Structure 1
Amino acid sequence: MREAGLDVFAAELAQGAFAIDVREPDEYTSGHVPGALSTPLSALGAVLGELPGDRPVYVICASGNRSAWAAEQLAARGLDAVSVAGGTAGWARSGRALVRGTTARAA
């Protein structure tokens, strides 16, 4: 399973990277990384066909545990999945902005 630090992830996002947030919907709406699409772990299997197969899929959660598991599952299915170390909590601690109140879904 590949992993990226927050600085690498931020740079990739600025270049248009595809990102999913695997936290629960209430966690997502309370604050998420701009551009990350809500894809709870429970729905991950249902959206496999919606995820890009031609570029990396960055996976983020609260701290990095759920995203690591999800990235492993996606990689096992042939996707170029990258877990974001530090997660949304690390993103916020680093002073980066969060978006609140939206429910953009990957599927």
Structure 2
Amino acid sequence: MREVDLTVFAAELANGAFVIDVREPDEYRAGHVPGAHPAPLSELGAVVSALPRGRTVYVICASGNRSGRAVEHLEALGVDAVPVAGGTAVWARAGHSLDHGVAAAESA
């Protein structure tokens, strides 16, 4: 399975990449990559229809395990998905900022 490293991911994110975070809601609220859409692995099937087609969906979790499982599922459904190596933990350790709380769509 291909995966994207942090440097490439940061550049893609700066260019408007679509990102889903497959961690559980409490993990997401505690700190997530800015712009990441919440899509818990346990509820991934419910959000598949809302994912963009024709562009890459970047998938992030805490360390890379759940994102790999999510990507396998999404690819089987025809979604161009790629996991972010190291996940949110590596993102934060590299000094990148995290957003906290819920996404705008969740709080509406």
Task: Please indicate the TM-score interval, normalised by the length of the shorter structure.
Answer: over 0.9
**Distance (Å, rounded) in 2 between the aligned partners of 1:53 and 1:11:** 21
* TM-score (norm: length of structure 2): 0.93
Aligned amino acid, residue 62 of structure 2: A
Question: What's the Cα RMSD here?
Answer: 1.3
Q: Kindly, what percent of the aligned residue pairs are identical?
A: 67
**Distance (Å, rounded) in 2 between the aligned partners of 1:105 and 1:73:** 24
User: Deviation of residue 53 (structure 1)?
Assistant: 1.1
1:68 matched to 2:52 = no
SS in 2 for 1:82: strand
In the alignment, which residue of structure 2 is the partner of 1:49?
49
Unaligned runs of 5+ in 1: none
* TM-score (norm: length of structure 1): 0.94
SS in 2 for 1:59: strand
Unaligned runs of 5+ in 2: none
Q: Quick check: 1:29–1:102 contact (8 Å CA) kept in 2?
A: yes
